[in-house]
Amino acid sequence: MPDISLTIWLVVFFALAFDFINGFHDTANAVATSVSTRAINPTTAILMAAVLNFFGALLSTGVAKTIGGDIVKSASMVNAHVIIAALIAAILWNLLTWWYGIPSSSSHALIGGIIGAVAMASGFRALNASGIETIVLSLVLSPIIAVVGGYLMMVMLLWIFGRFAPRLLNKGFHKMQLLSAALMAFSHGSNDAQKAMGIITLALLSGGVIDTLEVPNWVKLTCAAAMALGTAAGGKKIIKTMGSNIFRLEPISGFAADLNSSFVIFLATFLHLPVSTTHVVSGSIMGVGSAKRVTAVRWLVAQNMLMAWVLTIPLSALVGALIYQAMRFVW
């Protein structure tokens, strides 16, 4: 391992802490539907998700390079203090929303924290407007695509299997949910763990430890492990919101939501775009519920979640800016 300064080690620590809390916060994304329909018990579901999150995180590094290279114009325009402030802001937002059981976006929180801290440190000129626009566009469009895809997925499944008796249908899709939950967990790791990888790699590049924006192997492994450990710790408050408060899921609708979510996330990972897995899963559940009956979706819960989604980037940006400003006086 290369010679790294104490300050950059602090970046690594906070990035892994963010990754751990991200896994803890977003466990619901992978297992909420299968747990709510009792296809699998919570403990087994969380452990399965942890293992698959780890291996999914090793799939690629394209999203990491987008996070590390597309938000700021140059690595020379940020330093470890800026990155630490951004990470602390994202961690605080994740803990706050976890405490209240709100399925907000860890991705939004991280990007908002970076924008706020960089803007406070170097001004808005240091931000890569086009890169941020692409990232925000992917974050905004992905849940919309998930809603439409979830609706179409459910309509297709009902068209194919709707003639079967409900009892037989539920029994068959109980087993199929194990497959869809596994795909969802693997896809979650493939996209979310790369965000911490990108932050650490940006810090290593800005500190002169590495010469190019290539993710070192030790960064991949430690971030994958942190995400997996966080997932194993669980996030049962958000599991309840995702699994039952938006729409009363049945095995076939839970399968449709997970399968559609994993497709959307895999597509984003392939395109090297960071997405909010929380938003994607929530969108899929709304789409699946609408296919059954629009009034079956608890739109007031969805409205509260939407409010949290809209506020996450600006509020975490504000917190990131304030934390950086406070750090200037003590460090």
166 has a pLDDT exceeding 70: yes
Mean pLDDT in residue range 160-171 = 81
Q: Which residue has the higher pLDDT, 270 or 285?
A: 270
Check residue 247 and give its pLDDT: 58
- Mean local confidence (pLDDT), 56-64: 90
Burial of residue 310, with CB atoms counted within 10 A of its CB: 0-12 exposed, 13-18 middle, 19 or more buried: exposed
- Higher pLDDT among residues 246 and 88, named by residue: 88
Predicted confidence (pLDDT) per residue in 282-293, tens digit = 888 888 888 877
- The per-residue pLDDT for range 302-324, each reduced to its tens digit, is 676 677 777 888 999 999 999 99
Q: Tell me if 150 sits within 8 A of 291, measured CB to CB.
A: yes
List the beta bridge partners of residue 127.
72
Q: pLDDT of 210-255, one tens digit each?
A: 988 899 999 999 999 999 998 887 655 555 555 455 556 788 888 9
State residue 35's pLDDT score.
Answer: 77
28-42, 99-113, 293-307 — which is least confidently predicted? Answer: 293-307
CA–CA distance, 184 with 200 (Å, rounded to integer): 25
pLDDT above 90 for 3 = no
Give pLDDT tens digits for 126-136: 999 999 999 98
Domains of the chain, by residue range, sit at 6-330
Q: Quote the pLDDT of residue 36.
A: 74
Q: What is residue 239's predicted lDDT score, i.e. its pLDDT?
A: 59
Q: Which alpha helices (DSSP H) does the chain contain, by range?
A: 6-36, 42-57, 62-70, 80-99, 106-122, 129-161, 166-206, 217-233, 236-240, 251-270, 277-292, 299-330
Query: How crowded is residue 106: how many other Cβ atoms within 10 Å of its Cβ?
Result: 29
Q: In percent, how much of the chain has pLDDT > 90?
A: 42
Furthest C-alpha separation in the chain: 68
Enter the pTM of the model.
0.86
Is pLDDT above 70 for 301?
Answer: no
CA terminus-to-terminus distance, the chain:
27
Lowest mean pLDDT among 80-84, 152-156, 257-261, 295-299: 295-299
- Nearest-CA neighbor of 23 among 141, 111, 106? 106
Structure tokens at 167: 């009892």
User: What does the pLDDT average to over 294-301?
Assistant: 65
The pLDDT of residue 243: 47
How far apart (Å, rounded) are the C-alpha atoms in residues 127 and 186?
32
| Residue 1 scores a pLDDT above 80 | no
Could you tell me the pLDDT band of residue 77, with boundaries at 50, 70 and 90? confident
Classify residue 124 by its DSSP letter: G
The mean pLDDT of 147-162, rounded to a whole number, is 91
Mean pLDDT of the chain, nearest integer = 85
Res 280 pLDDT > 50: yes
pLDDT at 8 over 80: yes
Token match 């799939």: residue? 59
